[in-house]
């Protein structure tokens, strides 16, 4: 039986409920796993700064040798001091071109630097969603050149209309020979530099810690989780995972985000 050393989990709609909270069942299962020495690594499209309250609930806040993957693999940080362990920023010219393409569509646009989120043409429905996640941001003023000397981790757009997001996806992918575009949370289309995804980031962390892909559990629900689910030894979909995620999973949990992560941990880590 494989002894798993890392559990990496998506947050929104996988570990977290729709209101952004985490169930007691998930908290307890994660606590029991970490007490056994298994690392629990949140793996999110969001900034590592936006998950600090969650880390407090999971008893991982400011802990040494504990980690977060954020920006869809754009950066890996150690929780103690939020020290950057792995960085995969977008080249400025690439990010600027993506931003210019997105501005042609009816979307708001998020520009994530290493430590802040800027939003261009903020939509009210996006603002309401971000409020449930406690995400801090600044409404963008001025043009994209303000980011010339900053690390840009990713650029994403928001519109709840899938047809709009698909049109942006098509326009971006046609403009580049290589680039990484994914969908998330049923409202976003996200763009990272080619080769940057949640899976490559967790494998890079694993190499630093002496952990192989076979010893990693990844848990997700949406398209931007496929990068990690297809690269680890034990890919898991929560019950509410989209069909593409459930197809690649070796385990589909009986429950959704309410306690799907707990289901996986109980079966794969705590069952002995």
Range of the domain at 55: 6-88+196-268
Regarding whether 36 and 101 lie in a shared domain, the answer is no
Regarding whether 214 and 144 lie in a shared domain, the answer is no
What's the pLDDT score for residue 133? 87
HEC per residue, 198-251:
HHHHHHHHHHHHCCCHHHEEEEECCHHHHHHHCCCCEEEECCCCCHHHHHHCCE
What's the pLDDT score for residue 147? 98
Q: What average pLDDT values come out for the chain (272 residues) when binned by 10 residues?
A: 94 94 97 97 94 96 97 96 94 98 98 96 97 92 96 97 98 97 94 96 97 98 96 98 98 98 97 81
- Tell me how far apart the alpha carbons of residues 258 and 251 are, in angstroms, rounded to a whole number: 17
Q: Enter the pTM of the model.
A: 0.88
List the structure tokens of 164.
């709009």
User: How many other β-carbons are positioned within 10 Å of the β-carbon of residue 174?
Assistant: 8
Regarding whether 100 and 155 lie in a shared domain, the answer is yes
Here the CATH number for the domain that contains residue 134 is 3.30.1240.10
Report how many domains make up the chain.
2
User: How many other β-carbons are positioned within 10 Å of the β-carbon of residue 19?
Assistant: 7
The three-state secondary structure class of 196 is: coil
Here the CATH number for the domain that contains residue 79 is 3.40.50.1000
* Domain termination site, one of 149, 164, 192: 192
- Tell me how far apart the alpha carbons of residues 210 and 233 are, in angstroms, rounded to a whole number: 15
Report yes or no on 1 lying in a domain.
no
Q: Is-contact 152 111, C-beta < 8 A?
A: yes
* Domain termination site, one of 177, 192, 207: 192
Regarding whether 204 and 77 lie in a shared domain, the answer is yes
Residue found under tokens 């977008």: 90
Report yes or no on 240 lying in a domain.
yes
Residue found under tokens 């509410």: 240
């Amino acid at each position: 039986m494989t002894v798993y050393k890392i559990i990496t989990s998506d947050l929104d709609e996988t570990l977290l409920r729709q209101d952004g909270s985490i169930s007691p069942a998930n908290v307890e299962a994660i606590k029991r796993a970490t007490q056994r020495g298994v690392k629990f690594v949140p793996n999110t499209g969001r900034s590592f700064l936006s998950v600090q309250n969650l880390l407090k609930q999971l008893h991982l806040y400011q802990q040494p040798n504990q980690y977060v993957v954020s920006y869809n693999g754009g950066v890996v940080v150690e929780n103690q001091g939020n020290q950057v362990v792995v960085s995969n920023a977008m080249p400025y010219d690439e990010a600027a071109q993506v931003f210019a393409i997105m501005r042609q569509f009816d979307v708001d646009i998020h520009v994530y630097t290493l430590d802040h989120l800027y939003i261009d043409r903020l939509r009210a429905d996006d603002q309401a969603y971000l409020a449930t996640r406690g995400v801090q941001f600044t409404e963008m003023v001025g043009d994209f050149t303000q980011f010339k000397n900053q690390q840009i981790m990713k650029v994403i757009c928001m519109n709840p209309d899938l047809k709009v997001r698909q049109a942006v996806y098509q326009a971006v992918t046609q403009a580049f020979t290589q680039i990484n575009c994914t969908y998330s949370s049923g409202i976003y289309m996200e763009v990272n530099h080619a080769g940057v995804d949640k899976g490559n980031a967790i494998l890079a962390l694993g190499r630093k810690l002496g952990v192989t892909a076979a010893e990693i559990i990844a848990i997700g629900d949406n398209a931007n989780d496929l990068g990690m689910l297809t690269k680890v030894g034990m890919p898991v979909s929560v019950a509410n995972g989209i069909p593409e995620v459930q197809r690649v999973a070796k385990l589909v949990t009986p429950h959704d985000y309410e306690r799907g992560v707990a289901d996986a941990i109980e079966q794969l880590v705590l069952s002995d």
